[in-house]
Amino acid sequence: MTTAPVAPGAIGSAPEPAVLQGYLSDLDDWVRARRAELDEVDGAALAAQRGADIASDMMLSLALWKAVSDRWQLMWATWDGGRVGVTERTQITTLIWGRLDGTLDTQDLGALAVSLPEACRLSDALAGQLRTTLALMPGADAAAARIKDLRAQLERVRDQVGLEPALARDAAVDRLAALLHRLADVTERAQRGADVGGLLPALESDASTFERDLIVGNARRRDARDQLVSARELRADLVARAEALRLLAANCVRMVEPSPRYAVPDVEALGPIPNTPERLGPYLERLDRVSQALTLAQQRYADALAERTQLLDLLEAYVAKARSLGLADRPDLADSECRAREVLAREPAPMAVCRQLVGTYQTWVDHSKESA
């Protein structure tokens, strides 16, 4: 099972470029692998007619994945191919450790605000729970591998227990001790050659549920403990997102035409953070509206850039088809391909013309195939 990389630094710090590059690369791998894993689980559940069993956890898992994926995109724009100074590296750690934009709102958990590392750990726990729910399906992991995963999971749980408040820590320690005792019992049985397949699903489910409860509880306590700190984190996060979005928008304007024209909200225009509860609530609402505006603008700019990439991929697919048919070297097709590539490579690329040129190349392929 895919496990999220360890996040570097702390909010406001500026880790070395090599550290950030490694983390961004590992996080990109995690985002891709997690999506593939969720698609696989969803397909298996549908094939087994067990979609209702995982609907709630799957919804939250997809929401977490989308939030992490969007945040990685902003961090990658800020990274700018490694052209980063102290300011940009500080912005990246703010994007890592600040609250994810908005809240995750689910039927089981209610509204929840988490940082990117917490979202990744929560996603890991949920992925384990989803696999556990479907563990009776053909192809489930071997007992030895599942015991190894459980041991690693309970070590993560041990770290989370240390974050519990003093009043609740004893109960969490007892619950962890019970899980460790059950794991030791299962491990001993497996070493003696016993079939532990019937014991593992319940243990995996309880461990995943406990880990999820600890992560969620820690996030909720932090949010309830100090709303002012949450406002500061969100505001700092929005400032970093706005700066990253300006870079993304500039890249979009440079690469495609027409480009979306969304104004990047000025977080500074909201004024300083108030320190009274009656004024803090409306201020947080304004921050949330700014967050929504940033999310909308980011999506539009990302879609515009994605269309250019999609047209390039589509052209490559048509060229591969023409080569397989032995038609790619025909003058009409070669000229059409060359023209499409030349226009797609422009900065900015006129998207209406690009669409037409790729469509023209497809038409030439179809026509040449019919006349061959």
Report the 10 Å Cβ neighbour count for 134. 17
The tens-digit pLDDT sequence of the chain (372 residues) is 678 999 998 888 999 999 999 999 999 999 999 999 999 888 878 866 778 878 888 888 999 999 999 999 999 999 988 999 999 999 999 999 988 765 455 544 545 678 899 899 999 888 888 877 775 434 344 677 788 888 889 999 998 888 888 887 888 999 999 999 999 988 888 767 677 778 888 999 999 999 988 888 887 776 656 678 878 888 999 999 999 999 999 999 999 999 998 888 888 888 998 877 678 888 888 999 999 999 999 999 999 999 999 999 999 999 999 999 888 888 989 999 999 999 999 999 999 999 999 999 999 998 888 876
> Measured over all CA atoms, what is the biggest interatomic distance in the chain, rounded to whole angstroms?
81
The span from the CA of 115 to the CA of 137, in Å, is: 34
The span from the CA of 123 to the CA of 112, in Å, is: 13
Q: Give 350's strand partners.
A: 257
The span from the CA of 334 to the CA of 354, in Å, is: 16
How far apart, in Å, do the first and last CA atoms of the chain sit? 50
The two structure tokens encoding residue 371: 């006349």
Instruction: Specify the pairing of strand 104-106 against strand 110-112.
Output: antiparallel
Whole-number Cα distances in Å, 195 to 143, 187, 204, 229, 331? 9, 11, 16, 51, 68
Domain-wise residue ranges, the chain = 308-371
The span from the CA of 187 to the CA of 193, in Å, is: 10
Q: For 269, list phi and psi in degrees, rounded to 5.
A: -65, -15
DSSP state of 257: E
Q: Classify burial at 57, counting beta carbons within 10 Å of its beta carbon; exposed 0-12, middle 13-18, buried 19 or more.
A: buried
The span from the CA of 33 to the CA of 313, in Å, is: 21
What sign does the CA torsion over 101, 107, 109, 111 have? positive
The two structure tokens encoding residue 359: 């469509």
Whole-number Cα distances in Å, 291 to 26, 88, 191, 249, 253? 26, 20, 53, 16, 22
The span from the CA of 350 to the CA of 262, in Å, is: 19
Whole-number Cα distances in Å, 116 to 92, 123, 128, 245? 11, 10, 18, 18
Closest CA to 345 of 296, 297, 309: 309
Q: What does 275-321 look like in DSSP terms, one character per residue? A: -SHHHHHHHHHHHHHHHHHHHHHHHHHHHHHHHHHHHHHHHHHHHHH
The span from the CA of 266 to the CA of 311, in Å, is: 34
- Per DSSP, which regions of the chain are E strands? 104-106, 110-112, 256-257, 349-350
pLDDT of amino acid 52: 83
The span from the CA of 157 to the CA of 208, in Å, is: 9
- For the whole model, what pTM was predicted? 0.58
Does 348 sit behind a cis peptide bond, omega within 30 degrees of 0 on the bond before it? yes
Task: Find the helix packing angle between 227-255 and 277-324, rounded to 10°.
Answer: 30
Q: Give 111's strand partners.
A: 105
The two structure tokens encoding residue 312: 């390039």
